[in-house]
Amino acid sequence: GVRPGIVVLAAPGLDSVRKVIERDLDFSDRFEVGFLTEEAGRLSGPINTELFEGLGVTWGVELQPALGGVAVKVHHLPSGEVRQEWLRLLDVGAVGDGRMAIHRISDDITELAAAARGIAATRIYFAMADAIWRIDSDGANQQRVSRGTGIAISPALSPDGQRLAFTELRDYAGVVVLQNLLSGARQQVPGTNAGGQSITPVFSPNGREMLYARTAEEGTDLYAVDIAQSCCVRRLTTGGKLAVSMSPAYSPDGRRVAFVSDRGGSPQIFVMDADGTNQRVLVPFEFGQTGPSQSPDWSPDGAAVAFHRDVAGGRQIHVYELTTGRTRTVTTSGRNEDPNWAPDARHLVFTSTRTGRNQLWILDLESGRMRQLMNVTGKPRLAAWSPRVGQPTS
């Protein structure tokens, strides 16, 4: 559809806040953002609604200093109405969590002006240089988050965004660690220390269960564990000695699980009920067209599963639509892998070599727009998009 035009204007002293909001609205891919120079974006009196409406702008956002924060006014220019006014507490020289407060303003503007929840107030977690890191959705505030001595891979976030699970490899064994992101406290997930390697952990949508893959003498299979009560490890797949089942991904209702299995020869995307029954191929294999398929992730609206597949010597991101049974290829250049959905079910983050070396990229599936999340010298991979970050409770 046609994207509404939007401009952000700010009183003196709020230019840095204005720039963050402008970028957030642009990255939402739901608006045509009128990027203004510092001078043009500065408010000296009331917003010039006629000027901007004449330029085809639908929404005008006004930022004014207020006690302890910012007053936000959202003008609907065609009607001349102020549709919403908020008073937001934030540190205007904001860094860290203060920036997150600005991102929340952007998301509220998106919800009002595009009738859709924004994803500015989210973070992306990833593995790099033997540790798990995180970065804000706009590419700022990169921080190391995993604590520990082993090599950390396979990050996954709890539905409330407060716990991180990852695999820690040490002395040829891999255990799954649960780390509380607020306190830093760590615990080992039951059943993952039974020798072998436990990888690709994922939380159930209610946050009470976890699935992971464990490599043992009898092959690599999926196991479920009750993490709410730290008990009750159950094996869900039995692929046989040489077979591998891994990379589980829950449907948003928690009733089904997509996963990778090579029981038919090469790795393909399977699906099963959450209790391990009704295992079957999910994404049809097209002979001569498709190669190994891996790393599935179920979209938050339940409508699609994203994964990567080897095709004609390259590795590309695909999206399988559950209602139509259609698979579409959404990347073309470079080697692209490990897609993970944003909470808006519209954007994907993935690893790509399109500029020569591994970097994280974000794709808007509706417009096809790609943006590089950051530019680092390490090799970021296995990205996991967080839920929306709530107000800090402390």
- CATH code of the domain occupying 123-385: 2.120.10.30
> pLDDT at residue 96 above 80?
no
- CA pair distance 371, 138, nearest whole angstrom: 10
What pLDDT score was predicted for residue 97?
Answer: 67
Helix (H, G, I), strand (E, B) or coil at 310: strand
Highest mean pLDDT among 33-42, 48-57, 162-171: 162-171
- Give the phi and the psi of residue 54 in degrees, each rounded to 5: -65, -25
Q: Considering the chain, what is the average pLDDT of its residues? A: 92
- Using alpha carbons, select from 250, 253, 252, 218 the residue that is nearest to residue 235: 218
Domain limits, the chain = 5-114, 123-385
Q: Considering the entire predicted model, what is its pTM?
A: 0.94
Please list, in sequence order, all residues whose beta carbon lies within 8 angstroms of the beta carbon of residue 222, skipping any fewer than 6 positions away. Answer: 211, 212, 213, 235, 236, 237, 245, 246, 248, 257, 259, 276
Architecture of domain 5-114: 3-Layer(aba) Sandwich (3.40)
> pLDDT at residue 196 above 90?
no
Helix (H, G, I), strand (E, B) or coil at 26: helix
What pLDDT score was predicted for residue 365?
Answer: 98
* The two three-digit tokens of residue 119, written as one number: 């994803």
Average pLDDT (220-241) is 92
For residue range 363-384, what is the model confidence (pLDDT) as tens digits? Answer: 999 999 999 999 998 999 999 9
User: Which range (285-289, 332-336, 340-344, 380-384) has the least confidence?
Assistant: 285-289
pLDDT interval class at 93 (50, 70, 90) = low
Helix (H, G, I), strand (E, B) or coil at 17: helix
pLDDT interval class at 45 (50, 70, 90) = confident
**Topology agreement, domain 5-114 and domain 123-385:** no
DSSP letter, residue 320:
E
| Percent above pLDDT 70 for the chain | 96
User: Which range (198-207, 248-257, 385-394) has the least confidence?
Assistant: 385-394
- Give the phi and the psi of residue 151 in degrees, each rounded to 5: -85, 125
Place of tokens 């790609």: 370
* The two three-digit tokens of residue 250, written as one number: 């829950």
Average pLDDT (215-239) is 91
> pLDDT at residue 167 above 50?
yes
Supply the Cα-derived Rg of the chain in whole angstroms.
23
- Using alpha carbons, select from 247, 239, 202 the residue that is nearest to residue 220: 239
- CA pair distance 388, 65, nearest whole angstrom: 26
What pLDDT score was predicted for residue 394?
Answer: 36
DSSP letter, residue 116:
S
> pLDDT at residue 1 above 50?
yes
* The two three-digit tokens of residue 242, written as one number: 């040489």
Report which of residues 49 and 70 the model is more confident about.
70
For residue range 271-318, what is the model confidence (pLDDT) as tens digits? Answer: 999 999 999 999 987 766 678 999 999 999 999 999 999 988 899 999
pLDDT interval class at 91 (50, 70, 90) = low
For residue range 105-135, what is the model confidence (pLDDT) as tens digits? Answer: 999 999 999 999 999 999 999 999 999 999 9
Angle 24-82-31 from CA coordinates, rounded to 5°: 30
- Using alpha carbons, select from 101, 163, 72, 138 the residue that is nearest to residue 387: 163
Average pLDDT (144-160) is 93
What pLDDT score was predicted for residue 393?
Answer: 44
Report which of residues 339 and 241 the model is more confident about.
339
Average pLDDT (164-178) is 92
Other C-beta atoms lying within 10 Å of the C-beta of residue 278 = 9
Q: In Å, how far from its chain's centre is CA 243?
A: 30
> pLDDT at residue 95 above 70?
no
What pLDDT score was predicted for residue 240?
Answer: 75
For residue range 63-74, what is the model confidence (pLDDT) as tens digits? Answer: 999 988 899 999
